[in-house]
Amino acid sequence: MKIKEGDYFPDFSLPSDEGNDVSLSSLKGRTTVIYFYPRDDTPGCTKEACSFRDNIKVFESMGVPVYGISVDSIDSHKRFKEKFNLPFPLLSDVKKSLVVKLGIKSILGIASRVTFVLDKDGKIIKIYPKVSPDKHALELIKFLQEEMNLKKRQA
């Protein structure tokens, strides 16, 4: 991976299944979770997406938006999102521009399963380079709660 914790996430602009483009500047001002996954509607990717779906209220209560990114098309994302009732945006990196910038391309040329937590300024505060699809959302929630508690104690 070309990027590490403490680095700023690279600038990007990717189309969303919701019909708008999402860029780094549109994410600034709040802690954000960006997770990369290999393919829509595959067993591991479905488990991971559904885990985020099932825990989305917790992320929302913390004010932390979740974005999923793969190299699949917007049409594929729309079918995947509808099939599993996913309540968060899926971004399409069909040109693999962000995947290449981050150095997370797998042997198959698709995105590896990796998650980034960005602070309000776009700095990477946590990278999860190896993810257990069915437990990852809970792992992130625990990390985010610890981060928020730490900030409260430091204030």
Active site residues: 45
First to last CA, the chain: 33
Q: b/e string for 35-58 if b means 16 or more Cβ within 10 A?
A: bbbbbbeeeebbebbbbbbebbee
Q: What are the E-state strand segments in the chain?
A: 13-15, 21-23, 32-36, 66-70, 90-92, 114-118, 124-128
